[in-house]
Amino acid sequence: MVDVDLLDRIQKLALDTGDATTLEEAAQIFSRYVLQVDVREDGLNGATAEAAFTTIMNAAPRAFQGGVLVRLIKDSLLETGWVKGRAASDVISAYGCEQVTKLSDDYPTLVLGTAPTEWPTRGLCMTVTHAGWAAGVISRPGMNLSRRPEFPPAGVAAGSIGVAEAFQAIRGNVRAGRRDQGLSLWRPDLEWVHPAAFGPAVSGLLAPNKLHLLGLGHLGQAYVWTLGWLQYPDRHQVELVLQDADVLTRANLATSLLAREADLQRKKTRIVAAAAEELGFETRLYERRFEEYEQVGEEDPQIALVGVDNPHTRAILGHAGWSLIFDVGLGAGAGDYLDARLHSFPAERTPEEQWGGRSGTFDETVLDLPAYQELERRLGDRCGAIMVAGRAVGAAFVGAFASAVAVSELLRYYADDKRRHTVLDLSLRDLSRARMACAADWEGAENLGYVEL
């Protein structure tokens, strides 16, 4: 039998597209994927830039398994979030990237900092850029956004978009890396480079002081990753309720932003709690599956950030009594792994109306692909091939991007904007085609507990 807990979720992409006929071939394909990052002298100036850089260092090696090569012009001491007090060079090595002095023309390159008038290589280059709530990449030398004001979730989004564009380019998308691609986390309906898309001043922004995080896999860890970049004056004032029943397996490593090899077979709650507490957050652990009898108490968080892929669990979310729910679903196959759909509740449809009666399925046509035919032949059993085919394709940069969107939507709630998205459909395949629906008669935020950033 094949142990599906050992199946690298990003490598599965090569099986589902027919690029690889065996698991070994899939691993070989990904071992040839290399990304370069050119960090210019001002490339780490500010909290948002640090978030972009560190998100790339964390997410990129999980997809570019041939290596992430970083040219660092200035070894800055970083000041915020997950890397506060650490040198940039230490961050590079801590996430398994490699510092270099020269860049190759053969690999895609992400440029951080003021865009040069000429690209650093003759290969594919993009500037990772941001301004307020807007984030993305620009494909022309000498062009970038102002990188002010600071809004760290935009850094997480910008870094994720950069990795996604480079990954799509190396996978054969001829448009990726040769276009400007981005999103306004404030107004996804606007052109992201327009000043109106940069959002309001961040100074004095409010953020929740209590959150319930349900599911601590791909998305749950990404939520905490983005929350860790928010500039809380005192994180001890913030409580995170962490709920999950599973342990970390090797298959999860490609998508788990807070996990390392040493965490294998540890409970996900303990992994996430240790990381969050090191930053100063208070945590409470629920090491059980979410059931429909669970009820929120007066002292419990009234807001839930949900990252589960089980339709039954999602259907009963409305039973617990949370005042506000943000749920994100990610694509699971070769055709939609770059997609993310956010739902927020209350909405016109309840969670039960949205997901009730659904079951988790997969595209069974992939079983006709050479990889699964060969797997069935080797095993002498169709069940093993079905087990592998039923596992989701996953990329850490997609989860990081989706978490930046979700956390920004949460902060919008406290910003008392007149828009709350009940549905927001996005795809890193083409961010210009965002689709959304807004809550009817939305009158702004109810006080669900907050602290000032």
Cis geometry, peptide bond prior to residue 370 (ω within 30 degrees of 0): no
Beta bridge partners, 34, equal 67
Q: What φ, ψ does residue 12 adopt, rounded to 5°?
A: -60, -25
Distance CA 441, CA 136 (A): 31
Give the model's pLDDT for residue 318. Answer: 94
pLDDT tens sequence for the chain (453 residues): 566 777 899 999 999 999 999 889 999 999 999 999 999 999 999 999 999 999 999 999 999 999 999 999 999 999 999 999 999 999 999 999 999 999 999 999 999 999 999 999 999 999 999 999 999 999 999 988 887 889 999 999 999 999 999 999 999 999 999 999 999 999 999 999 999 999 987 777 889 999 999 999 999 999 999 999 999 999 999 999 999 999 999 989 989 999 999 999 999 999 999 999 999 999 999 999 999 899 999 899 999 999 998 899 999 999 999 999 999 999 989 999 999 999 999 998 999 999 987 776 667 778 888 877 887 787 777 777 777 777 889 999 999 999 999 999 999 888 866 678 999 999 999 999 899 998 876 555 567 888 888
Nearest to residue 218, comparing CAs of 79, 355, 396? Answer: 396
Give the model's pLDDT for residue 364. Answer: 74
* Residue environment code for 235-251, b if the CB has 16+ CB neighbours within 10 A, otherwise e: beebbbbbbbeebbbeb
Reported pTM = 0.95
Domains and CATH numbers, the chain: 33-198 (3.50.50), 206-452 (3.40.50.720)
Cα–Cα separations (whole angstroms), residue 209 to 130, 142, 206, 239:
27, 41, 9, 6
Tell me the residue ranges of DSSP E strands in 221-309: 239-243, 282-286, 303-306
Give the model's pLDDT for residue 23. Answer: 87
